[in-house]
Amino acid sequence: MEPECRVLSIQSHVVRGYVGNKAATFPLQVLGFEVDTVNSVQFSNHTGYAHWKGQVLNSDELHELYEGLKLNKVNRYDYVLTGYTRDTSFLAMVVDIVQELKQQNSDLVYVCDPVMGDKWNGEGSMYVPKDLLPVYRDKVVPVADIITPNQFEAELLTGRKIYTEKDALEVMDMLHAMGPETVVITSSDLQAPLGNDYLIALGSHRKTKADGTRITQRIRVESPKVDAVFVGTGDLFAAMLLAWTHKHPNNLKVACEKTVSAMQHVLQRTIKSAKVQAGEGNKPNSAQLELRMVQSKKDIENPEIIVKATVL
């Protein structure tokens, strides 16, 4: 029996569909983790729909929830996981909580998806307020152990553009220097050796041994592009990366292969199902493109490796 491993996941919540905590909790539970969720927002559905309604948790309310855990002495965690946030004071409060939890447990691993923006047709733009960038760069990333930015977010954090794989490796080194041991650039617009139908992700794991020597493991993962806009994939990716790096702590290659392969199984099942629901010749809508999470339980639990990583 493995010792209990507990995750505090501070992310958004939707009533319908899979994004934020809804996308992260199920896979983590399936993979054997206890998950305690703080819902940074509670919305009816994700904001890609025509309408959404709901409530937003502020930093005082987050602090109050954490105080409750502390009073009961149940604030010991092995992992903290965070994703999309729109508010600087909320993000600063998260950093305070992470620092306090790290005092409780020096082995705590903080997995942060620094969600700030993305590229569309080669042009990057932020979909959170610009004042979040300095908070991520100066406060969040230095306390994080694993970060999962996309290419645009990695460029924002380092102030450096990525045009080649060499640039990307140097940007990952810059990110390591800011704090995190593990950096995964989850998607990029770099040319994939396998061709235009593939998307490149890059990972780097840097460990400092007891004698002070550094070992860096770097990998490239090429996965088939899926022609649809999914929501919640980044949240699912970060959650599964947390799980598989826990199970394979010194093998980023295997952790990423399992994470990306499971993603592919989920996305392929989702697009197939969405097309059936939409009917011949119709474009699937947001509701039809919600991730088929429960239907993918076996693939999340024990993914058949269909995407291999290359060690660089």
Q: Across the chain, what does the average pLDDT equal? A: 96
Question: Taking Cα atoms as reference points, which of 97, 83, 106, 77 lies closest to residue 241?
Answer: 83
**CA 252 from chain center: how many Å?**
15
pLDDT tens for residues 133-149?
999 999 999 999 999 99
Give 43-55 pLDDT, tens digit per residue.
999 999 999 999 9
Task: Render pLDDT for 233-254 as a digit per residue (tens, 0 to 9).
Answer: 999 999 999 999 999 999 999 9
Measured in whole angstroms, the distance separating CA 310 from the mean position of its chain's CA atoms is 21
Tell me the average pLDDT across 260-268. Answer: 97
Among 78, 87, 113, 235, the one annotated catalytic: 235
> Is it the case that residue 61 has pLDDT exceeding 90?
yes
Decide if 107 is catalytic. no
Q: How many CB atoms lie within 10 A of CB 241?
A: 26
At residue 210, the pLDDT reads 85
pLDDT at 209: 84
- Predicted confidence at residue 12, as pLDDT, reads 96
How far apart CA 19 and CA 21 sit, in angstroms, is 6
Find the distance separating the first CA and the last CA of the chain, reported in whole Å.
36
Are residues 291 and 237 in contact, defined by beta-carbon separation less than 8 angstroms? no
State percent of the chain over pLDDT 90: 93
| Coil vs helix vs strand at 16 | coil
Q: How confident is the model at residue 3 (pLDDT cuts 50, 70, 90)?
A: confident
| This prediction's pTM | 0.96
Q: Give the residue among 63, 16, 11 at the shortest CA–CA distance from 41.
A: 11
pLDDT of residue 1: 56
CB atoms within 10 A of CB 153: 26
Encoded amino acid at 307, one letter: V
What percent of the chain shows pLDDT beyond 70? 99
pLDDT (0 to 100) of residue 120: 83
Can you tell me which residue has the tokens 């305070």? 96
Q: How far apart are CA 9 and CA 111, in angstroms?
A: 9
Lowest mean pLDDT among 120-124, 201-205, 275-279: 120-124
